[in-house]
Structure 1
């Protein structure tokens, strides 16, 4: 189908990686390799890079006394986009720093209105082969969900300045934003989820339902608790479950069937913040009264 960059529109291509600070690096590596099915691609004294596909990394773990989200990074569609973003961010009064990139091409970093560090980079290093150690590998890293201090201000920044497109929203609570790879959402910003900085969850996509069920069964076999068990979202159509990760309170969503939006005339839905906004399988209120 070609590159859905829409020709002239400046927008990121995809969520490239997420960097996390953890106080126990060994415990964090154990969780992400045992339950999230990632493989170590590079390790230094205080940093571990983890991959799920042929990308050098999806998750970067940093040893720190203050656990939490360090950075979320998005790959741009083409190298020239970095200069376009530099100019656009400068016009908004946003301070931008250049970076050589950690196993990526050239990168820039800046802060969003809620204080999150955001990186835009030109290209992820490729490992050449799929991971060999985990017994089932995620197909893609889909999205990150973060709490924001002001939903309208954050939406303006990510939509107008960075170029993400709105896919849907839950009124007054959550906005789903897609990048050029067309998955229903690569970033979700939410109000009322907690005080920033707070990474609510990261999502990994699997190819088949059997893959998803194997990952879920691994949680059961190891007595690892779920955050939320099987459900289907009305927005993306994805089915999956959530597991508590390291560092807390972040969780990881494991899913299949996450839809794409290919219609250039797509009209975002404004969904009521009601019972079915997150799980269409819930029964009607009072059904068994």
Structure 2
């Protein structure tokens, strides 16, 4: 790989919500996460033994605050900090007080030029003594986060050539499904072309296909809008269902996903830009699918960038050839 550090997994997603109590109850009672902390300024929820896999913050606009990726070791975190700083990006070390509250040993944050997306790299989140107990769905993990981006080529190059994500499947000019190497899951992040940068959806992977069917009926019984599916994606081979949360942000359950070995993995497939690629069963998303979710931008005090890191970057001919 072209980065000196190794990812372990997608650790958590932080969302901004307009009604913290309502959204906390929704993700607990309808989605099936467990609440580990609930206050006036933050709710922490989990679907694993971790302290959190989702953070909710009160805000005027709903959207994406940041995405947290766990690295394999403290040494990887040190290497990543020096590497990201060498890209000319401003580094924000997470304060000791915030680390204590989030039960994390060490972390830093930075923003990707263009979209302003905040990524956090961290190590060693606390594992809680009480195991996560599934309730309305057998959630296995936080699966992935998908974004719409206005400059698809620029975003793809930052994530692959600069930050070490690997393309698993590719729809030219429209979609890239990215794994955080050497994590084996088909994708922990994906980008879709759009007219502006925003959150498309957050995914939770379930362990039982019945969770898809039960989830569909649970949404219907609670007057929650289903916006896509059930269906099966061609890229990851997963069965899916999408619906809207209280702020009309899109949430997904998926069952099943292709995994990749660390070495000798198959080449990224070049997929046709047709509706059947997104759903081999033939359903299509409603107009409300993937529309709500502003990407939170840096404040003036924290947006300084060292060097000219915002200049346009294009896909190299070598990468384009590999994907074709």
Q: Given the two structures, how large is their TM-score scaled by the length of structure 2?
A: 0.80
Q: CA deviation at 1:26?
A: 1.4
Aligned pair partner of 1:183 in 182, 185, 195? 185
Indicate the residue corresponding to 1:168 in structure 2: 169
SS at match of 1:123: strand
User: SS in structure 1 opposite 2:25?
Assistant: helix
Superposed, 1:262-281 pairs within 5 Å as: 262=261, 264-281=264-281
Structure 2 residue aligned with 1:146: 147
Cα pair 1:10 1:162 within 8 Å, conserved: no
Cα deviation 1:62-87 (Å, max 9, x = unaligned): 11123211111111111111111112
> How far apart are 1:242 and its partner, in Å?
0.4
Matched, 1:44 2:39: yes
Are 1:89 and 2:84 an aligned pair?
yes
1:202-281 superposed matches below 5 A? 202-248=202-248, 250-262=249-261, 264-281=264-281
Equivalent in the alignment of 1:3? none
Does the 8 Å contact 2:205/2:255 carry over to 1? yes
Give structure 2 stretches of 5+ with no counterpart: 284-324
Query: In structure 1, how many angstroms separate the alpha carbons of the residues matched to 2:213 and 2:81?
Result: 43
Cross-structure match for 1:121: 122
Matches within 5 A, 1:71-86: 71-86=66-81
Alpha-carbon distance between aligned partners in 2 of 1:44 and 1:172, rounded to the nearest angstrom:
42
SS at match of 1:21: strand
Do the aligned partners of 2:30 and 2:136 also contact (CA within 8 Å) in 1?
A: no
Between the aligned partners of 1:22 and 1:265, the Cα distance in structure 2 is 39
Q: Deviations over 1:84-135 (max 9, x none)?
A: 1112112210111111432222001000121011101012221133334734
DSSP-derived class of the 2:88 partner? coil
Match of 2:252, SS state, is strand
Query: What per-residue deviation string (whole Å, max 9, x for no partner) do you get for residues 151-206 of structure 1?
Result: 222122111222111101111011110022210000001212x412x111011111
User: What is the DSSP-based 3-state SS (H/G/I as helix, E as strand, rest coil) of the residue aligned with 1:260?
Assistant: coil
CA separation of 1:72 and 1:247: change in aligned 2, threshold 3 A: farther
Could you tell me which runs of 5 or more consecutive residues in structure 1 were left unpaired when the two chains were aligned. 1-5, 284-289
Contact 2:4-2:83 within 8 A present in 1 as well: no
In the TM superposition, 1:65-76 aligns within 5 A as: 65-76=60-71
SS in 2 for 1:152: helix
- How far is 1:266 from its partner? 1.7
- Give the Cα–Cα distance (whole angstroms) in 2 for the partners of residues 13 and 98 of structure 1: 20
Aligned residue for 2:274, secondary structure, equals coil
Residue equivalent to 1:287: none
Deviations 1:238-261 (A, max 9, x none): 00110112433x211101111212
Q: Distance in 2 between the 1:82 and 1:19 partners?
A: 20
Residue 287 of structure 2 corresponds to none
Contact 1:12 1:162 in 2 (8 A): no
SS at match of 1:254: strand
Q: Which residue in the other structure is 2:26 paired with? A: 31
Runs of 4+ in 1 over 4 A off after TM superposition: none
Instruction: Confirm whether residue 64 of structure 1 aligns to residue 54 of structure 2.
Output: no
Deviation at 1:9, TM superposition (A): 5.8
